[in-house]
A and B are shown apart, each in its own frame.
Chain A
Amino acid sequence: MSIAVAKTYKLYVGGAFPRSESGRTYQVTDAGGSFMANAVQASRKDARDAVVAARKGFGSWSKATPYNRGQVIYRIAEMLQSRQPEFVELLITSRGVDRSEAAAETEAAIDRLVHYAGWTDKLTAVFGSANPVSAPYFNYSAPEPTGVVAIIAPTDAPLLGLVSVIAPVITGGNACVVIAAEADPCVAITFGEVLATSDMPAGVVNILTGSATEIAPHLAAHADVNAMDLTGADDELARQLEVAAAGTVKRVHRPKGRPDFRAAPGTIRLRSFLEIKTVWHPTGAPSLAGGSSY
């Protein structure tokens, strides 16, 4: 009988899987309370490294065409589909759910990605506008990505919840730093492996494991983080993070209750991380060509 090769779960930052610079780990237990794995206890420095990686990832991702972004997100769905059995086993082991529920959660996660893959090239048409101003200008408003988004992943849906918070953020062209649910780092980092094989530019999604209470305040105060999704934060942590986020006028999304990730997702998670840019461009009589701007 051969001995199984157990996986070492590390962080997912800048397209690579580094250990914490702090060398810290914590033990993860399965649904029955037995040892399951050691996970990385990310530090403040790791969070800062992840922001640097995300800013770099944002540079290329935000300039990618909407069609390309859609294809990449669809590719994530493909990769998740091909590894679905692994996620089913992980969910059964870590959460103690039965096989049909684990299958349902993974299928819903795949469908969620397909849903968002189809959004990338429709955001401008749906959330932008051609504005009929009362002056000779072509005037339009179009959504653009906000930038780097720090996400506190939900704690009650290790895969579907994680996908449901990451997908809308990257669909809009943002990059993100995600703090995975502390109890479910194995699912999150395995999803990082899916991302790493999905043609996604390095740094667009970065996943930290460990304590949100410890790491998130550093992200909330970080001047190069533009927005926060507080879905996984409890009331006290959320309030504390909102106070810190105000220091650099970050956009903050906090759901009005516990999200039902099995339901149709709506568009609030897309809109919360988009900026509307309005452009005024002069129009005028064609006869005024030649040295005139008008």
Chain B
Amino acid sequence: MSPSTESGSIDWEYAPAPESEAIGRVKDRYLPFIDGKFIEGGGDDLVTINPGRGEPLSTVSTVDEADLDTAVRAARRAYEGPWSKLSGAERGKYLFRIARGIAERSRELAVLESLDNGKPIKETRDFDVPTAAQHFFYHAGWADKLGHLGYGPDPRPLGVAGQVIPWNFPLLMAAWKIGPALAAGNTVVIKPAETTPLSALVLAEIIADADLPPGVVNVVTGAGDIGAALVGHPGLDKVAFTGSTAVGKQIQQTLAGTGRKLTLELGGKGANIVFADAAIDQAVEGIVNGIFFNSGQVCCAGSRLLVQEPIAEELITRLIERTETLRVGDPLDKNTDVGAINSRAQWNKITELTQAGIDEGAQVWRSSCPLPDKGFFVSPTIFTGATQTMRIAREEIFGPVLSVITFRTPEEALAKANNSPYGLSAGVWTEKGSRAMAMAARLQAGVIWDNTWNKFDPASPFGGYQESGFGREGGPAGLAAYLDTDDEAVIK
């Protein structure tokens, strides 16, 4: 079936280009990493699923509460022992080593992440893994420069941090959490998500190979009950969580009155605003990136498209044409644009909310790209005629589902965009720089993208307003989450 120009009969049928699964070096069984050792946990094993096929991928030993105690104690010993005795420069050298270790195993990590999470290999290869390495590299450099942050000449770490991360960017979220925590001088106990534990455990191998002192980083495995036990553990000084707003609220309640520092990075319903003067081709690319990157399983996804009325019809037509060209399918295929949904549970949630949109009267369009007959896949979906009160315009769907709403004036766009309890991301498409800046100033969101979307950098602080959480990750502001910055004098 190879294309032939000589015969004149070119075969234009789609030819898959799958990456080799063997590169991921998936093991039969993975163990939690506590006090510098990979140990059998006391909990029941969990089977992690390959969402691209809907089949088991590997087995992971999970921890029980006794193991959690062991991990927190190990982190405390490491904090009070070797870690706090190190200079910032020496701490930084360990982080540089981890950054290098990730880069050296990047092909393996990209394949493993794609297999365990279901996202396309081109995303893990070009974004998740290199950005994770970059996060360690960036934060490594802060370790001996904390005195320049503006919290006094020698700001102190908090101690032991408990961190719970989500399944949508498993390795990258681990890097976002561990990098600044260690750079600031803390030790960590981190729990990857139940459905995506593998890349964090390979990161633990990289950390072990980097010879970090035992207990500085502990990776514990398990489901939500272990996450809840971790964040409520009295042996912690700091809790960091990325995940749903509902769970974030529970954690904030759990920590009430404890004085432990908390940062939350929660849900969103990002408003992507397109003005009539926008460069439409670029806006279309940005809208596609905003909602179909990682199948829309992104807290800062541009899931609400606000289009100015004069161009609404043309923009929607071109958006649908472009979306129709997206290839949905095997995450390991290097041509795949939209991969699998991470889990059956998430697939159900997306399906349920999509049905709600149909039931509430929005017009639905779905890509005709054929879906694989196995695995958890959702066709790219665009709702037009959505109104502000519909569930698809208010609730975080966390899937490849876009709701389109129109507006006439900038004031109306602002009012609609800001009419949400969330406030994580927002974006503006316009050729007028002054309008872009004025909109950026008035949008109630922690990250604003002008004429772009889903840009991330370790040097750039990321985090939400309102019910999208508090605290920042990345940049100088992100270090504050892991330092004692309370400089008010108290009466002894």
B residues touching A (Cβ–Cβ < 8 Å)? 134, 150, 245, 248-250, 252-253, 255-257, 259, 264, 266, 278-279, 282, 421, 429, 431, 433, 436-437, 440, 445-452, 455, 457, 459-463, 465-470, 472, 475-477, 480, 485-492
Q: List 30 A-B contacts (CB under 8 A).
A: A129-B461, A133-B460, A139-B459, A141-B475, A240-B256, A242-B252, A243-B256, A245-B252, A246-B250, A249-B245, A249-B252, A251-B470, A255-B488, A256-B488, A257-B490, A257-B491, A259-B488, A266-B486, A266-B487, A266-B488, A268-B487, A269-B488, A271-B485, A278-B461, A278-B475, A280-B460, A282-B452, A291-B279, A292-B279, A293-B451
A293 touches B282 (CB 8 A): yes
With a CB–CB cut-off of 8 A, which chain A residues contact B465? Answer: 275, 277
B490 touches A226 (CB 8 A): no
With a CB–CB cut-off of 8 A, which chain A residues contact B440? Answer: 277, 279, 281
A residues touching B (Cβ–Cβ < 8 Å)? 126-127, 129, 131-135, 137, 139, 141, 223, 226, 235, 238-240, 242-243, 245-249, 251, 254-260, 263-269, 271, 275-282, 291-294
B460 touches A249 (CB 8 A): no
With a CB–CB cut-off of 8 A, which chain B residues contact A271? Answer: 480, 485
The residue on B at minimum CB distance from A139 is B460
| C-alpha gap A223/B421 in the complex (Å) | 9
The residue on A at minimum CB distance from B245 is A249
Selected contact of B477 from candidates A129, A248, A254, A257, CB within 8 Å:
A129
A248 touches B467 (CB 8 A): yes
| C-alpha gap A126/B459 in the complex (Å) | 17
A249 touches B266 (CB 8 A): yes
Given contacts A249-B252, A277-B446, A279-B440, contact A266 B489 (CB under 8 A): yes
B462 touches A278 (CB 8 A): yes
Selected contact of B460 from candidates A131, A246, A254, CB within 8 Å:
A131
| C-alpha gap A178/B339 in the complex (Å) | 51
With a CB–CB cut-off of 8 A, which chain B residues contact A131? Answer: 457, 459-461, 475
With a CB–CB cut-off of 8 A, which chain A residues contact B489? Answer: 259-260, 263-264, 266
With a CB–CB cut-off of 8 A, which chain A residues contact B134? Answer: 134
Given contacts A129-B476, A249-B252, A293-B279, contact A260 B491 (CB under 8 A): yes
With a CB–CB cut-off of 8 A, which chain B residues contact A259? Answer: 488-491
A139 touches B457 (CB 8 A): yes
The residue on A at minimum CB distance from B282 is A293
Selected contact of B150 from candidates A126, A243, A275, A280, CB within 8 Å:
A126
Selected contact of B447 from candidates A265, A278, A281, CB within 8 Å:
A278
A288 → chain B closest CB, angstroms: 11
B463 → chain A closest CB, angstroms: 7
| C-alpha gap A294/B431 in the complex (Å) | 10
The residue on B at minimum CB distance from A274 is B477
8 further contact pairs, Cβ within 8 A, besides A223-B421, A260-B489: A133-B459, A239-B257, A242-B256, A271-B480, A278-B447, A279-B450, A280-B449, A280-B460
Given contacts A137-B452, A249-B470, contact A293 B431 (CB under 8 A): yes
The residue on B at minimum CB distance from A243 is B256
With a CB–CB cut-off of 8 A, which chain B residues contact A267? Answer: 150, 487
B256 touches A249 (CB 8 A): no
B423 → chain A closest CB, angstroms: 8
A282 touches B450 (CB 8 A): yes
| C-alpha gap A293/B282 in the complex (Å) | 8
| C-alpha gap A217/B266 in the complex (Å) | 24
